[in-house]
Amino acid sequence: MMSTPIRILGTVGSLRRESYNRAALRAATKLVPEGATLESFELDGIPGFNQDEEKNPPRQGPRIEEPRTRGGCASVCHS
């Protein structure tokens, strides 16, 4: 029986290179069990949501559809 590999896409909301969440994601990449992979996706360049500009949104930032469509689910956690 062939098992399907587990693929995890990790993102960090803070853009600071030394943020605690970024450090936790770096640590998590070393703790991923065999049969799973953890890919990091940088949010740099994705404009934040501004309701005042909702009808005139900024240019499109990086696309994340490709990694998202390869997996079966997503979990978003932030503090």
pTM of the model: 0.58
Distance (Å, whole) CA 17 – CA 38: 18
pLDDT tens, position by position, 11-70:
888 878 888 988 999 999 999 999 898 988 887 777 777 788 778 777 665 555 555 545
Distance (Å, whole) CA 30 – CA 61: 29
As a three-state string, the secondary structure of 2-70 is CCCCEEEEECCCCCCCCCHHHHHHHHHHHHCCCCEEEEECCCCCCCCCCHHHCCCCCCCCCCCHHHHHH
**Binning pLDDT at 50, 70 and 90, where does residue 79 land?**
very low
